[in-house]
Structure formats: structure tokens, C-alpha cells
Structure 1
Amino acid sequence: MITQKLKEHLNAHNIKYTTTSHSPAFTAMEVAAMAHVPGKQMAKVVIMQIESRPIMAVLPANYRINSGRMMQALHTENMRLADETEFGNLFRDCELGAMPPFGNLYGMQTIVAQSLAEDEYITFSAGTHAEVMTLLFEDYRNLVKPKVISFTDRFIPTEADQDG
């Protein structure tokens, strides 16, 4: 079920969205395949610790973070991937790993990859591993007010990635 907080936020701002239910999936690319959306449109959320505070990074499912580029864009040398124990309690209304890309609803800064901002739509897990939501990227940008920066590289899976 989509988080109540997210639904209320979108409805309060008269944002049009669609929801799609699918079989449970646990990686962003699996979710994209189950929901029949391109990997470039499917957002994945990665929580980073930057200068000891959590930051929500949002990027396309078929891209990965370029740490050097991200640190340079955020003017920091102190950055690491956050451990789930550090942020899980912030997302009590979501299944872990299915957090929607709305850092503003969870008290954290949101950064979005330029590569994701180039699409007309954004699709994302809406708090569960079996449901996604799609809305206009421009509506998302106006609601969340993320910092849009270039911090990704396109991910080309190898056989080892596909087997695991």
C-alpha cells in the first residue's frame, strides 16, 4: 500500500499520478521490469551520509553513483553509503528499500541525478515492494525541490550482475 504521508502530500497539491501494482521485486531494475517502465525512468533511492547527516540521492535504476563526481558536486570529502540501521527508523511507513524519493517528507535533503531529470515522467517505489507510482517529473521537482546535479554513470550489467 502506498504510504499515507505520500498520498496526502500529492493530493494536497493536486498532483496527478498513477499507481501500478506488480509482483514483489527488490532491486530497482527488477521493479522497472515488473512495472513495464524503462530503467532510465525508474528512480532508485540511495541514502548517503554526508558530513554525518543523511542525504537522499535519487537516480535512474540503470545508473550508479559516481562517488567522486558526487563529492565534487556537493563540495565534500566526507561521504559514504549510509547503513540501513542509520536511517530505517526515518521510514517507518515504508518497507525498507522501497522508500519514495521524497526526502522532504522525511526531513532530509534530496539530490536528483541530472540523468533522471531529463525524462518527462518519474516512476518510483511508493513505500512497498509491490507498487509503483508515476507522475510528471516537473510536478515532482516542484514538490520536492531537489538539488539536480550530475553524479551518475550508466550501469552496464555483466553476466555476474545478472546471475546474482
Structure 2
Amino acid sequence: MPAKKLKAFLDEKDIKYVVIKHSSAFTAQEIAASTHVSGKEFAKTVMIKIDGKMAMAVLPASFQVDFNLLQEIFGTRKVSLASEAEFKYFFPDCELGAMPPFGNLYDLGVYVSETMAEDKMIAFNAGTHTEMIKLEYKDFERLVQPRVFKFSWKTVSIPGDPSERWELDY
């Protein structure tokens, strides 16, 4: 069952959404592949610390956070990845690492990669490692009111070249 707080919130706001059950998966890429959802449409929630304050970075499953860009965006000296030990208490109704990108339900700021905001739909962990929720991005944006920035990059393979290159999402 999806996180009770999230399900109650979506139902209360009369949001149309679909819960999709899948085999147990622990990475956003695995979930996207097993549910046949594009890696660009499946949102992974990365817990970050901005000068020690916890927040959510939401980006496509196939992308990575560019911490240098986030430091520039926030004009701060330190943006870093939070450890599970640091954030697990924020999400008592979720399995560790399966938190949905609804920071507003957990008193956390939410920052969405511009690439993620370009899609019509958004899919994400529903609080468990065996369920995801899919809904319209415009509903997610209206409910969460995230700040949208360019802060992620993707690994791109060059045809005929076994090496990889990194590419910013803008």
C-alpha cells in the first residue's frame, strides 16, 4: 500500500493517479525498466543537504545531480548528498529509500530538475520498493509547488565509442 500520508493527501485533493505494483526494486532505473516507464519520466528522489538543511532533489531516473550547479543556484558553500541515517526519520511511513517526492508532506523543500518538469506525466516511488504512483505532472506541480532548476546531467553513450561522456541537461 502506498504511504498512507501520500495516498490520503492525493485522495483528499481529488487527484487522479494510478498505483502500479512491481517486483521489488531499489534503484529508480530498475523500477522504470520493470514498469516500462521511461527513465526520463520516472522521478527519483535524492535527499540533499543545503548548508546542513535537508531537502529533496527530484530528477529523471537516468540523470545525476550536479552538486556544483546546486551550490551556484543556492549561492552556498556546501550542497551534499544526505546519508540514509540522516534522513530516515523524516519518512516514518515509507520504506527507507522509497520516499515519494512530496516534501511538502514532510516539511522539506523540493527542487525539481527542469528536464523532469518538461514531461506530461510523472511516476515515482509510492513509499515502498514494490509500488509506484503515476499522475499528471501539472497536478504534482500544483500540490508540491517545487522550485524548478537546471541541476542534473545524464550519461550519454556515443555510437561507435565505448567511452561515455557527461552532458548537462540544458
**Structure with the larger strand share:** 2
Shorter-normalised TM range: over 0.9
Letter in structure 1 aligned against 2:149? I
Q: Distance in 2 between matches of 1:92 and 1:131?
A: 17
The answer for the alignment partner of 1:13 in structure 2 is 13
Task: Note the alpha carbon deviations across 1:35-60, whole angstroms, 9 max, x for none.
Answer: 11000000001111111110110000
Q: Larger % of helix: which?
A: 1
For 1:129, the aligned partner's letter is H
Matched ranges for 1:79-118 at <5 A: 79-118=79-118
Query: With structure 2 as the length reference, what TM-score do the two structures score?
Result: 0.90
In 1, Cα distance between equivalents of 2:80 and 2:62: 21
Give the letter aligned to residue 99 of structure 1: M
Whole-Å separation in 1 of the counterparts to 2:36 and 2:103: 25
Matches within 5 A, 1:108-147: 108-147=108-147
Q: Which 5+ residue runs of structure 1 have no aligned equivalent?
A: 159-164
- Give the 3-state SS of the residue equivalent to 1:25 in structure 2: coil
Q: Following the alignment from structure 2 to structure 1, what is the Cα–Cα distance between the partners of residues 53 and 69? A: 19
Larger Rg: 2
> Gaps spanning 5+ residues in structure 2: where?
158-163, 165-170
Q: Does 1:25 align with 2:38?
A: no
TM-score, structure 1 as length reference: 0.93
The aligned residue for residue 162 of structure 1 is: none
> Percent of pairs identical after alignment?
44
Q: Which has the higher contact order (CA 8 A, sep 6+)?
A: 1
Q: How many residues align?
A: 158
